[in-house]
Amino acid sequence: MNLQCDLRVEMNLEPNPHWKQTRQTPDWVKNIYGKLRSTILKSVLKLRPKSKTKVNWRNYGRIIGLNERYKTFLAKDAPQILKREGFNNISKKKWDKIQSLLGEEDARQYCLKLLERPANDNAPLSELAEIVLRRQLENLEKQKQIAFGNLANQSAKTVAIFLKGMGEGYTVFLNADGEFSGDDRRADIHLELLAWQYDIEKMRKLIPQKTNKHLVGELKQLPEFKNKTQDWFNDVFKDIKLSIGRRGRPWEFSKA
């Protein structure tokens, strides 16, 4: 929830309905959002309409292409990623521990608000999430139909421009292999650090405090980072101004 709120602020977008930030964001995390904005999100931000009266048909096509790639990601890429990462093989004992940390009831209440259902509705999260996703996909399909309806009265040249843009939009964010198109080769580590945000801030509150070297040791246990050098990690940390074990009182991280 906090990541969604922060990213929308970084991209100058309206907040999602019913979403509220639950804690303050560390400066190093904000710096990562800035990096994402200038790399993997840069091409998406360029699609934002600059005029309310004049249609940029190429960008319009790119937006529809981007929506189509998102649908492919949900239907094809996501299941393959989950299987590759071993989520299908998590034991019941381990899954029970994970579930206690997921905040499922909060997510369920959020879905109830989106679906305009009463707060005492006992529908399970899986059922509600499926309905929310289905409505989202239906909306994307509706947007595509509207786009082609608008296109019906245009010239052949305009249609060609739109279709060219649609092809470009399909890979403007994720390429055919499911990789970020605007990746500066650091998206993986930036996203991993965001996922570790709570643990990193806990490290900074320990007495004696942990150090950057300790965090590197933890990260190098992951397959994608096991061959990275200490200097590479130091450069990443310096770039986003992340330091563990600094002098003075550690940054306060709320458990809320």
User: Whole-angstrom Cα distance, residue 65 to residue 71?
Assistant: 10
Distance from chain centroid for Cα 148: 29
Q: Pick from 169, 202, 222: which residue ends a domain?
A: 169
- Does any domain span residue 174? no
Residue 62 in domain: yes
Q: What is the domain range of residue 160?
A: 51-169
Same structural domain for residues 61 and 160? yes
77 and 114 assigned to the same domain: yes
Number of domains in the chain: 2
For residue 183, give the amino acid letter: D
> How far apart, in whole angstroms, are the C-alpha atoms of residue 80 and residue 149?
34
Segment 171-178 mean pLDDT: 91
In a domain, 160, yes or no: yes
Question: Nearest to residue 215, comparing CAs of 240, 234, 239?
Answer: 234
Residues 3 and 97 in one domain: no
pLDDT of 210 strictly over 90:
no
Same domain for 11 and 73, yes or no, is no
pLDDT tens for each residue of 217-250: 999 999 999 999 999 999 999 999 998 865 444 4
Q: What pLDDT does residue 246 have? A: 53
Radius of gyration of the chain measured on its C-alpha atoms? 21
Separation CA 256–CA 252 (nearest Å): 12
Q: Is 44 domain-assigned?
A: no
Of the three residues 137, 169, 201, the one that is the final residue of a domain is 169
pLDDT of residue 92: 84
Domain endpoint, select from 169, 202, 226: 169
pLDDT in tens, 55-78: 999 999 999 999 999 999 999 999
Same domain, 82 and 160: yes
Residue 168 pLDDT exceeds 80:
yes
**Domain presence at residue 121:** yes
Q: How many other β-carbons are positioned within 10 Å of the β-carbon of residue 137?
A: 15
- Within a domain: 45: no
pLDDT digits (tens, 9 = 90+) for 32-58: 999 999 999 999 999 988 888 899 999
What pLDDT sits at residue 42?
A: 92
